Amino acid sequence: MVFANKGWENTPEAARLACDYAREHGIKHVVIASKTGYTTDIFMDTFAKAGVDVHFVNVTHCYGDLGPGQCEMTPEKRRELTDKGVTVITATHALSGAERGIVNKYGGVTPAILMADTLKMLGQGMKVGVEISLMAMDNGAVPYGEEILAVGGCGHGADYVISLIPGHSNNLFETKVIDIICKPRIS
């Protein structure tokens, strides 16, 4: 599915398409980029209504992204999600992290940032999906060698869903993107 435009309004349809794909392919793990947790709520509701049982992983922005010592997900929302069985990961972004700090101070480009920008050629959601999958794998939130779904977007909500088998960050080229379930048209 290719959405005519990117944005939040695609989230319910992205959730439905992800749910259908998970049912059809026996996917048991869905990793979602959601800085506040509300996109994860929409996916959980969609899967529950369809009777599709999966393990959800919510990957937030790291502390400090909003401001020094701050995280965009409230402690209450984190507790609400974990109480529902969601694994919540807040960690340094796999394809930027410390490298971005080096570039910000000294300039230039680093291999991980170059990789991130290359993935963005396929859309912001492709980069996000690969990155959060690496983060989930590095945190033990998804099983090694298993196909999962990764959900990303262009800032708010979700408009990009991919299926992939992620590697760990230290072996990131083991990552294999299998299908693009939905994405916005890139203009």
Q: Which residues contact 82 (CB under 8 A, 6 or more apart)?
A: 88
pLDDT at position 141: 96
Among 1-10, 13-22, 96-105, 173-182, name the one with the lowest average pLDDT: 96-105
Task: List the CATH code of the domain at 2-184.
Answer: 3.40.1380.20
pLDDT at position 144: 97
Is the CB of residue 17 less than 8 Å from the CB of residue 47? no
Handedness of CA 149, 154, 156, 160 (dihedral sign): negative
pLDDT at position 64: 63
More confident residue, 49 or 120: 49
The confidence band for 29, taking pLDDT boundaries of 50, 70 and 90, is very high
pLDDT at position 18: 98
More confident residue, 82 or 124: 82
The confidence band for 102, taking pLDDT boundaries of 50, 70 and 90, is confident
Phi-psi category of 148—alpha, beta or left, where left has phi over 0 and alpha has psi -120 to 50? beta
The confidence band for 65, taking pLDDT boundaries of 50, 70 and 90, is confident
- d(CA 145, CA 167) in angstroms, rounded, equals 8
Arithmetic mean of pLDDT, 43-57? 98
pLDDT at position 131: 93
Give tens-digit pLDDT for 130-169. 999 999 999 999 999 999 999 998 777 899 999 999 999 9
Q: Does pLDDT of 173 surpass 90?
A: yes
More confident residue, 139 or 100: 139
Beta-sheet pairing, 55-60 with 29-33: parallel
- d(CA 130, CA 177) in angstroms, rounded, equals 8
Arithmetic mean of pLDDT, 72-82? 92
CA distances from 132 to 49, 127, 179, 182 (A): 25, 9, 16, 17
- d(CA 172, CA 170) in angstroms, rounded, equals 6
More confident residue, 156 or 13: 13
- d(CA 180, CA 141) in angstroms, rounded, equals 22
The confidence band for 187, taking pLDDT boundaries of 50, 70 and 90, is low
